[in-house]
A and B are shown apart, each in its own frame.
Chain A
């Protein structure tokens, strides 16, 4: 079932990429990034069926990095919301020339 797992993983990753590129709500973009990480984890688990348990170890690392990323990212979003009263990326254009 490994090819099927890789196929589902690819579809989930593409859905995440499309979400990041088309949405403007910063929180939903963050959730799309989490979805992409999940898709990569799924292919890690699929490959661990072929090459041994090292892939599962990497999934645990990815999960801890994702948890750290979610904590810091949401803190940044809260800080931005205090400043701009919005999380819509259209209104956050401080670095735009």
Chain B
């Protein structure tokens, strides 16, 4: 599988933008600014999905993650009036930073080890003119039918749980 120069350039552009936005996101103090940078990361990840032949998942990423989940986050930030940066620093002390640094280094080392493994050859692209949803729905409604149904129960439980938790006790 060979890729053109423009494809590779755009892939790296979106990947680097996603990583940079994520790095800015974890260092922002203002929760609203952090949430908006995270939305930028999610848009870039959606672009990567589409470039890797997962167009349907890319669209769902924009609609569900960037559109719905992050709006809920922003809604809660503004409902609780946390839009202003806190007066005290909300970054933990030295100990937590060292633990985080060590955890990050261990995980990066693990990733480098995994990256040296030999990967199988990539599959061919979908032929032009075929539906992009058909390859997903076929396993979703056959091999993974039971998990799919369980997911609907999970969503129902989550809805009821969220309403009960957030309701004011009278």
Task: Identify the A interface with B (CB < 8 A).
Answer: 1-8, 10-19, 21-25, 27-28, 30-32, 34-35, 38, 41-42, 45-46, 48-54, 56-57, 59-61, 63-72, 74-79, 81-82, 87-88
Known: A5-B52, A11-B19, A68-B158. A17 touches B151 (CB 8 A): no
Residues of B within 8 A of A52 (CB): 123, 135
Q: List 27 A-B contacts (CB under 8 A).
A: A1-B11, A2-B119, A5-B15, A13-B107, A14-B111, A19-B26, A24-B90, A25-B31, A25-B82, A25-B86, A31-B35, A31-B73, A38-B42, A42-B48, A51-B120, A54-B143, A54-B144, A56-B56, A57-B136, A65-B154, A67-B158, A68-B154, A71-B72, A74-B72, A75-B161, A75-B163, A79-B166
Report if A61-B151 is in contact (Cβ < 8 Å); known contacts: A41-B45, A52-B123, A75-B165: yes
Whose C-beta in chain B lies nearest to the C-beta of A73?
B162
Q: Is the CB of B97 within 8 A of A22?
A: yes
Residues from chain A with a CB closer than 8 A to the CB of B162 are 71-72, 74-75
- Consensus secondary structure, chain A interface: helix
Known: A6-B114, A63-B60. A68 touches B155 (CB 8 A): yes
| Residue B6 interfacial (CB < 8 Å) | no
In the complex, the answer to whether A49 meets B123 with C-beta atoms within 8 Å is: yes
Which 7 pairs between the two chains have the least Cβ-Cβ distance?
Answer: A68-B158, A21-B100, A75-B165, A10-B111, A19-B26, A75-B162, A75-B166
